[in-house]
Amino acid sequence: MDSAVLLDAAVVTRCRRRVHLEHDPAAADEPRAALDATTQRRITDAAAHRRRVADRLAEHHATDWAEVPAELPAEQRVTATLALLHGQAPLVWGGLLPADPASGRRGGVDLLVRHRGGYLPVMVVRHKVTDPGGGARTSALTQLRLTAARTDPTRKVRAQSRDQLRLAHAVRLLQAAGLAARGRPTGGVIGLEADAVVWHALDVPGWPGGRTAMNEYDARFADRLAVARAAATAGPPLALPSRVTECRSCPWWPTCGPVLREARDVSMVLRGEDAVALRAAGVSTVDALAALDPAGEAPVPMAGTSMRDAVLLARAWQQDLTLVRRNRRVTVPRADVEIDVDMESFDEAGAYLWGCLLSGADIGLRRGYQAFVTWEPVPTRDEARSFAEFWRWLTAVRRRAAECGRSFAAFCYNEQAENRWLLSSAARFAGAPGVPTTAEVQEFIGSDQWVDLYGVVSAEFLCAHGKGLKTIAPAAGFAWHDPEASGENSMRWYSDAVGLGGNAPDLDQRARLLTYNSDDVRATHALRLWMSSEAVNDVPYAGDL
């Protein structure tokens, strides 16, 4: 029966094809990738974070606190949860709500808070839920009540759509069980900092097109439920394979990937809505796209790229070309004195390492690689020290170059991460010795002395297999020392390096991280030198494809 399909909150942000495969009995024996170490670490860290928060809340609210044992079988957890809720327990941790076969929903929520004759859902997540600013509705962890919420002048809500959709799922389950609080649908989130509850009114039209979180959730859930029911009943599939960002970490990629490659599906070149739109217009393969006139009119409106780029990317993919020159002559900003910068952070907990490579003209300062690092587990006040040391050194290089009459530029690869941690570090550690003001940071990153090499690569090349540094730098002849070098793996190395989880710090992993970071800045340096050389002209020119 259709009603046998029960979905949890995760489906509303999950690839539609994955939802199909997870409910298609015929896919039971299809190949799947094992859970990688990085994903497993994130799951473990998130569980540990929730446990720490629960223990703190239990201390604050000892007389009101009730907990449903996680080790109970699902049916017993539901029974225990309902007993507490019908008994009007003020706070219930770890509750599992009764499934609602009529709507196809199942699931639980970290914390249920008694409010107006029912309950409000509160989630605990291991990511930031606010940024410096104002306007968020918050209450202290010692006041787990919506009535205690006030407009916070120091925090603004960080856009985390997944959180609001998960809260909407919990609200619908509470409503189906007759246990939802009266009034407007509302839920709370406790984030990485775990110092307040951020309350979200889920009926506010803050989504595209004037939709609310509840509207968005209802539409997405109805769609995923239809996909799952069609799969479960062997009906015509409502979701076919298409490459999206999620594919990189999806366990079903070993099933979908070969199908897409064999079909030469257009999503191998273009992802997202552009691929969907082209496929609907009859341009379903890379070859069909490559056969179009790059100077012609696009068969459908395209949001992610231009018609010219789409066609040339398809032609590059046909020839297995990683890079194609957009222009006859490649140009890249250069300066007399140059620094390559790469920051390492641990999820959203903090930036623990600022690695720099000083090269170019001799201005009396030691050239080569330098690391400004803290090995205290982040977040820590010692970040202020390492960040201040980095900023003082950067400022000294800029000043010395100017005194010597030399031009200066600092380079990074994809400035979004570096800019975020430059600004947030200045804000978090404002007033600490050597820490710049936010205005000083903004002046620097807004100047022509701060160059995003990722943007330069995007302007100069078409990249058929992605624009990540690990993909592009090998074209310049660069190779990392560590065969496992990646941002995801560095998270695991860091966990060992600082002894997270109560283990002894691993000094070998600290050395490994420094080597990895050193290679990252040397990679951007090598890429820039190559782009400035005649060797770059060996890359095919797009106009010749």
Report pLDDT digits (tens) over 291-312.
999 999 989 888 878 899 999 9
- 337-542: which CATH number, 3.40.50.300, 3.40.50.1110, 3.40.190.10, 3.30.420.10? 3.30.420.10
What distance in Å separates the CA atoms of residue 218 and residue 175, rounded to the nearest whole number?
Answer: 13
All residues at 6 or more sequence positions from 258 whose CB lies less than 8 Å from its CB, including other chains: none
Query: What mean pLDDT do residues 35-46 have?
Result: 82
Query: What mean pLDDT do residues 332-336 have?
Result: 97
**pLDDT beyond 80 at 501:** no
pLDDT at position 331, please?
96
Sorted by where each begins, the domain ranges of the chain are 35-201, 264-319, 337-542
Give the C-alpha distances (Å, rounded to integers) separating 449 from 333, 337, 340, 530: 10, 10, 12, 20
pLDDT at position 38, please?
74
The full 3-state SS of 409-477, as one line of letters, equals EEEECCHHHHHHHHHHHHHHCCCCCCCCCHHHHHHHHCCCCEEEHHHHHHHHEEECCCCCHHHHHHHHC
- Which residue from 428, 425, 422, 462 is spatially nearest to 444, judged by alpha carbons? 422
**pLDDT beyond 70 at 231:** yes
pLDDT digits (tens, 9 = 90+) for 422-469: 999 999 999 999 999 999 999 999 999 999 999 999 999 999 888 999
Query: What mean pLDDT do residues 152-161 have?
Result: 92
**pLDDT beyond 70 at 2:** no
- Which residue from 302, 250, 307, 234 is spatially nearest to 272, judged by alpha carbons? 302
Is the peptide bond preceding residue 377 cis, with omega within 30 degrees of 0?
A: no
HSE-CB of 72 using CA atoms within 13 angstroms:
15
Q: Are strands 350-360 and 368-373 parallel, antiparallel or unpaired?
A: antiparallel
Q: How confident is the model at residue 216 (pLDDT cuts 50, 70, 90)?
A: very high
Q: How confident is the model at residue 347 (pLDDT cuts 50, 70, 90)?
A: confident
- Which residue from 348, 354, 339 is spatially nearest to 391, judged by alpha carbons? 354
Q: Determine what percent of the chain is predicted with pLDDT higher than 70.
A: 99
pLDDT digits (tens, 9 = 90+) for 383-435: 999 999 999 999 999 999 999 999 999 999 999 999 999 999 999 999 999 99
pLDDT at position 417, please?
94
Query: What mean pLDDT do residues 180-186 have?
Result: 97
| DSSP-assigned letter for residue 34 | P
Query: What mean pLDDT do residues 482-507 have?
Result: 91
**pLDDT beyond 50 at 1:** no
pLDDT at position 502, please?
81
Q: How confident is the model at residue 345 (pLDDT cuts 50, 70, 90)?
A: very high
Q: Is 199 exposed, middle or buried (0-12, 13-18, 19+ CB in 10 A)?
A: buried
* Beta-bridge mates of residue 97: 107
DSSP, residue by residue, 353-392? EEEEEEEES--SS--EEEEEE--SPSS-THHHHHHHHHHH
What distance in Å separates the CA atoms of residue 95 and residue 109, rounded to the nearest whole number?
Answer: 6
pLDDT at position 74, please?
96
**pLDDT beyond 70 at 3:** no
Can you read off the two tokens belonging to residue 69? 């044992």
Which helix (H) or strand (E) segment holds residue 190: the answer is: strand 186-190
Query: What mean pLDDT do residues 141-170 have?
Result: 95
pLDDT at position 304, please?
78
Give this prediction's pTM. 0.86
What distance in Å separates the CA atoms of residue 56 and residue 235, rounded to the nearest whole number?
Answer: 49
Can you read off the two tokens belonging to residue 86? 């019908």
Query: What mean pLDDT do residues 525-538 have?
Result: 96
